[in-house]
A = this chain, B = another copy of it.
Amino acid sequence: MTQKEISSAVIERLPRYYRYLDELREEGVERISSAELSRRMRVTASQIRQDLNHFGGFGQQGYGYNVESLYNEIGKILGLDRAQNMIIVGGGRLGQALANYVRFEKRGFRVIGVFDHNPNLVGMQVRQCVIQYVGHLADFLEKHDVEIAALTIPRDEAAEVAKLLVDHGIRAIWNFAHVDLNLLFPDDIVIENVHLSESLMKLSCKLNMERWQSEE
């Protein structure tokens, strides 16, 4: 099967496989059985075999998986085998945190621009970038090859900025604003949402249920 036929459920799980394989590499492990990977990841061995068989020929009976080649193959599918330019719109603490995340660089994501409209932030150095005025965004996108934009701005501004980004060639938005941008764009614009307050609410919800149970 071709790589594009990988289901979205498998895509959800790939980064976690990638992380575990990276840890195994760091530990110097050269090969691993699906049973051992299952034990580490707490995923059933049959799930692992089913997921990883998508990439064909890497698991061998009696040998297991070659850690390095499986790591590289999954890296390719994740698009990590080449450098990708990224900008961050929203230079507040969250935007700065993303710009400073060395782990992204290690994966080939290069932050080449950070933008904000707040004059107190414009001009601030964040790692290798100086925060620029957001009015320069369109011009910047015309001059640079950028595929990914992280949006770390308030909800009210997100739709308008996202539209500008897409009009200037951005194909992928990493959205931290509390708005469902995917409802605004055609399917070929890729959007990944990180809704922090919803994540915190889920935590609170589960905690709340634990509390009821323990009170019984």
**Residues from chain B with Cβ under 8 Å of A96 in the complex:** 93, 97
Q: If A19-B198, A200-B192, A202-B12 touch, does A207 touch B79 (CB 8 Å cutoff)?
A: yes
**Residues from chain B with Cβ under 8 Å of A214 in the complex:** 188
Q: If A77-B208, A148-B203, A202-B12 touch, does A197 touch B3 (CB 8 Å cutoff)?
A: no
**Residues from chain B with Cβ under 8 Å of A78 in the complex:** 201, 204-205, 208
A residues 95-138 in Cβ contact with B at 8 Å: 96-98, 100-101, 103-104, 107, 109
A residues 168-213 in Cβ contact with B at 8 Å: 171-174, 178, 180, 183, 188, 190-192, 194-210, 212-213
Q: If A190-B207, A197-B104, A207-B172 touch, does A202 touch B15 (CB 8 Å cutoff)?
A: yes
Determine whether the beta carbon of B200 is less than 8 Å from that of A174.
Answer: yes
A residues 1-16 in Cβ contact with B at 8 Å: 2-4, 6, 11-12, 14-16
Asked whether any CB of chain B lies closer than 8 Å to the CB of A94, the reply is yes
Determine whether the beta carbon of A198 is less than 8 Å from that of B15.
Answer: yes
CB A6 to nearest CB in B, in angstroms, measures 7
Determine whether the beta carbon of B188 is less than 8 Å from that of A174.
Answer: no
Oligomer: number of copies: 2
Asked whether any CB of chain B lies closer than 8 Å to the CB of A38, the reply is no
Bound complex: CA A16 to CA B204 (Å): 14
Asked whether any CB of chain B lies closer than 8 Å to the CB of A68, the reply is no
A residues 52-109 in Cβ contact with B at 8 Å: 77-80, 84, 92-94, 96-98, 100-101, 103-104, 107, 109
**Residues from chain B with Cβ under 8 Å of A210 in the complex:** 171, 188, 190
Determine whether the beta carbon of B174 is less than 8 Å from that of A209.
Answer: no
Closest to A109 in B: B200
Determine whether the beta carbon of B79 is less than 8 Å from that of A204.
Answer: yes
21 A-B pairs within 8 Å (CB atoms) are namely A11-B202, A12-B202, A14-B201, A16-B198, A19-B178, A77-B205, A79-B207, A84-B204, A92-B97, A98-B196, A101-B196, A101-B197, A104-B197, A148-B203, A148-B207, A174-B200, A188-B214, A190-B203, A190-B207, A192-B200, A194-B199
